[in-house]
Amino acid sequence: MNIKFLKYCCIVALLILAGCSEDGIDDSGEGTITGKVVAKGSNAPLPNVKIETTPVSNTVFSDENGDFIINEVTEGEYSVQAQLDGFITAFKASRVVSGQTNNVVFELEESTANNRPPEIPELLSPGEGQILESIEANFVWVTTDPDEDEITFTLELRNDQNNDVLIFEDITEPIFTYSPFY
């Protein structure tokens, strides 16, 4: 074989190899996470909810309609957290894909962890064991709630003559008038 031809082939092969290049896949593509935060049960929008991701990207707050947008999130798997005082913190999984938007919805439940129970009601009238002389009876009691929550009461009346029991529920005031015509 001719040495000149061999040199020529080597030069051509080197030029071909030098001209080849790989375009790598962009591993750092970015997407967007959008969402809404509402109160569980009422679906009322919750403003000023702190929204964070793990791994960390950006921290944002929901607007007056409960909506939020996290832009320029690197492609990957995330845990999105919604946090607001007085509500239980919630987490959602989110997969961010380059050039796409992933939507998450949070329904935050009110926290009752710091809620204290009301005081035990104290019956003011009629007195304990008092025999009622008329058909109509006024029951009055007093109680307070340290958190000033709305309180509803259930009143149970027992007849000592025949063991009948009457139950009155969802009373909103600390006074109740019983009449057999109720």
**CATH code of the domain containing 94:** 2.60.40.1120
Closest CA to 63 of 44, 36, 90: 36
pLDDT tens, position by position, 7-55: 665 566 656 666 655 554 545 689 999 999 999 999 999 999 999 999 9
Same domain, residue pair 65 and 94: yes
Say what the pLDDT of residue 138 is: 87
Give all strands of the β-sheet with 101-108 in edge-to-edge order: 67-74, 30-39, 101-108
Domain that holds residue 87: 30-108
**Domain-ending residue, one of 76, 108, 140:** 108
Say what the pLDDT of residue 83 is: 96
pLDDT above 90 covers what percent of the chain?
A: 47
Same domain, residue pair 101 and 46: yes
**What's the domain count of the chain?**
2
Say what the pLDDT of residue 56 is: 87
Low-confidence ranges of the chain (pLDDT < 70): 1-28, 181-182
pTM of the model: 0.53
Do the domain assignments include residue 139?
yes
Same domain, residue pair 43 and 97: yes
Do the domain assignments include residue 162?
yes
Same domain, residue pair 74 and 97: yes
Same domain, residue pair 92 and 144: no
Same domain, residue pair 67 and 137: no
Say what the pLDDT of residue 12 is: 60
Same domain, residue pair 103 and 130: no
